[in-house]
Structure 1
Amino acid sequence: MKKAILIAFLMVSLSSFSQQLTYDSGGTVYNSENRKVTPDGVRQLLAKNKEALSLYNSGRSKKTWGNVLFYGGLGLVTANLVVGMNSDNTTSSYSGNGYYPSVQSERTNMTAAIIGGAMIVASIPIKIGYPKKIKSALGLYNNTLANDYKPEPRTSLLASANQIGFRIEF
């Protein structure tokens, strides 16, 4: 019984190394058992295929830069608008002996909001392009799995109480 459990465990662990990887939205990679694979785990699986590894790393760095630009720009726009809405840029001055003040209002400086908007616009093509690189890296990995896998014919002897025979698997 212990040998059977050990052999089953070894077969399952060996089969996990030859899994096909699939891409889901948001840069998430799943193995053939629909379990999420961490980016470091994907890098370990792609370590033998340098081209696929470089494409995957490039896609992940594009994702990171796209997120930095998008959320940084969103933060700049939000911060500038909140500060602009809550600040009072009016000045009043009394000229001479008059009882009527002169009130001057200045516009809020929108430079940070403009820069933030430009960052958001710049992040759009980056965030659109990174899934293509990750998908092509996973495609290269899956193609090498299919090319490397060449089943060899196996023969085995089958025996029971009433019969005996050979089984050939291709």
Structure 2
Amino acid sequence: MKKTVFTFLFAICASFFAQSQQIEKEKVFGGYKYSINGKAVSMKEMVNLMESDAKAMALMKKAKSNTTLATILGGAGGALIGFPVGAAIGGGEANWTIAGVGAGLIIVAIPIASGANKKANEAVDLYNASLDATSYNNFKPQFNMLINGNGVGISMSF
């Protein structure tokens, strides 16, 4: 009897603590910072978290690939700007055409990164909304102590 009661109570407690955590978002310069309980979450981790919501996961995958593309374009653009600037500082002849191409790459990367931020933000909103709809936050059991001629017991109604 003690094992049955313990198992039952353990199952109830586990259902409360095993809930999926909401992803918190904080506006920072250039986009958003995502975290769960104060711990930063990467895009890869968010894709894994969103496996339960297909729409949110698809959006997050697009956001992740767009972020990667924007990072590559921005990094290449920065390097192409940096070489002529470094040559000019070092006293050599700078090829400003390369710097212009680099600036163009950065200009192309900005809207791609902005779109990725919007997709990631939308995916987090979808994911958090699906958690609210299916979470145990609405699960409010009521416990009653029963005493009768057969003994003492606890009833749970929900």
Return the TM-score normalized by structure 2. Answer: 0.70
Shift of 1:140: 0.9
Return the index of the structure with the highest Cα Rg.
1
Partner of residue 38, structure 1: 42
Distance 2:104 2:64 in 1: 22
1:18 aligns with one of 8, 20, 27: 20
| Alpha carbons 1:155, 1:166 under 8 Å: kept | no
Give the 3-state SS of the residue equivalent to 1:69 in structure 2.
helix
- 1:35-82 per-position Cα deviation (integer Å, ceiling 9, x unaligned): 222333322221121111110111112112212212221111111122
Q: Say how many residue pairs are matched.
A: 142
Q: Which residue of 2 aligns with 1:66?
A: 70
Whose helix fraction is larger, Structure 1's or Structure 2's?
A: 2
1:80 to 72, 81, 84: 84
Taking the aligned partners of 2:103 and 2:33, their CA distance within structure 1 comes to 27
Flag structure 1 segments of 5+ consecutive residues without an equivalent: 90-107
Match of 1:156 in 2: 143
Listed as ranges, the matches of 1:1-170 within 5 Å are 7=10, 11=14, 15-24=17-26, 25=28, 28-31=33-36, 33-88=37-92, 108-149=94-135, 151-152=138-139, 154-158=141-145
Where does structure 2 lack aligned partners over 5 or more consecutive residues?
A: 1-5, 147-151
> C-alpha separation between the residues in 1 aligned to 2:153 and 2:113?
60
RMSD of the TM alignment (CA)? 3.3
Evaluate the alpha carbon distance shift between residue 66 and residue 88 of structure 1 in structure 2; reply closer, same or farther with a 3 A threshold.
closer
Partner amino acid for 1:58?
K
Separation in structure 2 between the aligned mates of residue 120 and residue 147 of structure 1, nearest angstrom:
41
Identity of aligned residues (%): 23
CA distance in structure 2 between the partners assigned to 1:88 and 1:36 by the alignment:
44
CA distance in structure 1 between the aligned counterparts of 2:51 and 2:19, rounded to whole angstroms = 12
The change in CA–CA distance for 1:48 and 1:63 in structure 2 (over 3 A counts) is same
